[in-house]
Structure 1
Amino acid sequence: MFFHRSLLLGVSTFAVVPLLVLAVSPPWESGRRHGELFVASSADDASLRTRIAALSPTISPDEARRVAYTAYMTGLQLRREWHVVWLPGVQNFLVNMGARKGGLCFQWATELLVRLDALKLQTLELHWVESFANTNGEHNVIVVTAKGQAFEKGILLDNWRYSGHLVWTQVAMDPEYHWTENKSELARRLGRARDVASERVRSTMKSN
């Protein structure tokens, strides 16, 4: 009898969960804005480019444009590569079950960090920031500022929160998270990425 009830409960759960997920309208489709969160509309989102460039008169408009483009395209490309679903928590579950290659927040942030670092920015600086650190609810994003500017003044770039659709806002205006900077994590992740790139170069040279 216990087995029978458990089986029915399991079937019912798997039947209801997809319906609940479908009932949650993705924010980028409904046109809603949550607090001060914004969703980039394209790789050439004028609002995002303008807000980045407005951080300081020292910022190159071209660098602001390239950062906005790279952040948007990173979300678009990885959304397809990782077969990302809505809600992000569902994607997390699939990754942890081995059913998806990627899609955890730190993976989104790391991929974006590496791609932005490759731009060799001269007037902009990258920051690794985190919220609810060392808990099950930890979230990581990349923040961009002018060179030497405090991360709290910057613009955060988040591809995880809306499942690969680029979310951005001023750090201090985020209605959902309180952020702290982790400089050592930034250095660690960039160092690891550069080591991997160097190893690939060495392997290529040996094979030739």
Structure 2
Amino acid sequence: MCVLQGTPVDISCTHSHPPDAKLYYKSWFKWRANQEPRDLQSDSGYKGRVEYPVEETGRSTLRITDLRVTDSAEYRFTFKTSKHEWKSILHGTTLTVTGLRVEVTPVATVTEGQRVTLTCITSCPLADKPSYIWYQNNGSVTGSENPENQLVLDPVGPQHAGSYSCSVRNYPHLRSPEETLTVQCTMKVVLSLQLDSCFWLLCKDKLD
């Protein structure tokens, strides 16, 4: 599972045991090779962010809120009954927590008239395939909500210069760090051509 940093996630599993055995303990833990399972509810790194919601018999859910990049790991489930203990030797669910960042192509400093592509990048494909929202100088870009993670400026102009960030729909407060786009104006070239033209006309008048 690939989930955005700062959001919650639910990881579930089903389990069964003989009807004459009473279930008296269950827990989720982060898999660490050669280490004894440690209940996440007693792990200081997850304090206040982990719960096991009450569900129907035979199913257990791990809920982690305010996800952090350090939460990226494999999670497994274990339970005990009055007759046996399940230690979950099978692979669990691997969770990858990612942030957002903006990448500018071809470069962050361009000349007006070029084609510029801004891409909202994650370290892995987000599980829920969200729509992306773009912001320029802290204001949302008109019509910027798009299932694609790119914003294309073609041709780019002086009005496009500024700081850009992105977020995903339903979590607009979880924005990427800003990336600055600098657009160099071509007016200097135009002005130079105009001055050359005026100089030529002036010289022509004198020669005439």
User: Could you tell me the TM-score, scaled by structure 2's length?
Assistant: 0.23
Whose RCO is larger (CA < 8 A, sep 6+)?
1
Q: Which has more strand, going by share of residues?
A: 2
Asked which structure has the greater CA Rg, the reply is 2
User: Could you tell me the TM-score, scaled by structure 1's length?
Assistant: 0.23
